[in-house]
Amino acid sequence: MGSVFSFVLSLGVILEVFTYRYGVKAIFLPL
């Protein structure tokens, strides 16, 4: 259970960094 939580947490951090660096367009426009 802990490993799943850490995986989701790291995934959220990556998403946070991408949206911060590339803006909201990064969410809607795939690279």
Give me the average pLDDT of each 10-residue run along the chain (31 residues). 86 82 65 51
Residue 1: per-residue pLDDT: 63
Domains identified in the chain, total number: 1
Residue 24: per-residue pLDDT: 66
Residue 7: per-residue pLDDT: 92
Domain span including residue 20: 1-31
- The DSSP H or E segment spanning 9 is helix 2-22
- Give the Å distances, CA to CA, from 14 to 11, 21, 26, 27, 31: 5, 11, 12, 12, 15
Residues 6+ apart with CB under 8 A from 30: none
